Amino acid sequence: MRALAVQAAAWAGVFAVAQIVALPGAIAIVGAQAALAAALAWRMHRERWWIVLHALFSPLGALALGSGVDPRWWLAALVATMLLYWGTPGTRVPLYLSGRAAVDAVDGLLRSRGARSLLDIGCGIGSVLAPLARRHPQVRITGIEAAPLPWLIGWLRTRTAGNARVLRGDFFAAHWRDHDLVYAFLSPHPMAAVWDKARREMRPGSLLVSKDFAVPQAKPTDTVTLADGARLYLYEPAGPAPTRTD
């Protein structure tokens, strides 16, 4: 809703200016709206990619209207985009895909820690879940994804794996306490809330792994630099596992 409000406010501003100053043609009007929308998004401290989207929204809409393409194709593209990025305006978490290097690193963590369960929050199309389910048939693997299309792809990729399941929903509403390792590849925006939930629910000795985005208020237990230059931040939100004395 805030995205629509920004676009509406930008158009209102342009029309107000047009009552005072004559704008030379449709291109100038659309350009002025795009610039104002981007400025408003920047003023609201939105992420850089949101600012770019606001700047491109009206120009792309104008091009679509003048392209002569059947409007049903544009409608189909809009529906596909909504299914792919469902919830992104609210969560500010776009679809990111973990690469092979991240999968290999998490694979190593599962082995070294003897983990029996993995939770991937915001699992996308299952780019981590699917290969790890094949490599670790003894590990219980769960993914949670809000967007319908990535969820469906992830579900299809793991449907034959007896040890994996992909759920559709809000990962903040799920319970994390039953998992030895929680993996996240999200964005900077939710990391403080992720940390708060991890501290409340994760067990001593369990591991929170965040790809590329550090928790702002916590120091990682360790960091791992991947072959592709990305970085994993490792945290033990509830502290290390108790030391056995017997």
pLDDT of residue 23: 65
pLDDT class for 210, splitting at 50, 70, 90?
Answer: very high
188, pLDDT greater than 80 = yes
pLDDT of residue 137: 96
Written as one letter, the residue type at 174 is A
pLDDT of residue 34: 86
pLDDT class for 61, splitting at 50, 70, 90?
Answer: confident
pLDDT tens, residue by residue, 8-34:
888 888 777 767 766 676 777 888 888
Q: How far is CA 157 from CA 66, 84, 128, 131, 166, in A?
A: 39, 16, 11, 9, 9
Domains in the chain with CATH codes: 2-68 (no CATH), 100-235 (3.40.50.150)
pLDDT of residue 84: 57
pLDDT of residue 87: 62
pLDDT tens, residue by residue, 149-187:
899 999 999 999 999 999 999 999 999 999 999 999 998
pLDDT tens, residue by residue, 215-228:
998 999 999 999 98
Q: Which two tokens stand for residue 18?
A: 């047009």
92, pLDDT greater than 70 = no
Distance from chain centroid for Cα 142: 17
How far apart (Å, rounded) are the C-alpha atoms in residues 120 and 129? Answer: 7
Please check whether residue 161 is in contact with residue 142, taking contact to mean a CB–CB distance below 8 angstroms: no
pLDDT class for 89, splitting at 50, 70, 90?
Answer: low
Please check whether residue 99 is in contact with residue 125, taking contact to mean a CB–CB distance below 8 angstroms: no
* Strands 231-235 vs 207-211: parallel, antiparallel or unpaired: antiparallel
Q: Which two tokens stand for residue 125?
A: 């199309």
pLDDT of residue 3: 67
82, pLDDT greater than 80 = no
pLDDT of residue 96: 77
Q: Give the count of beta carbons closer than 10 Å to the beta carbon of residue 136.
A: 19
pLDDT of residue 1: 55
pLDDT tens, residue by residue, 103-162:
999 999 999 999 999 999 999 999 999 999 999 999 999 999 988 889 999 999 999 999
Distance from chain centroid for Cα 167: 16
Q: Which two tokens stand for residue 159?
A: 């449907």
Assign 3-state DSSP to the chain and report helix, strand, coil percentages, each to 5.
50, 15, 40
How far apart (Å, rounded) are the C-alpha atoms in residues 22 and 19? Answer: 7
The mean pLDDT of 48-64, rounded to a whole number, is 76
More confident residue, 118 or 81: 118
pLDDT of residue 14: 77
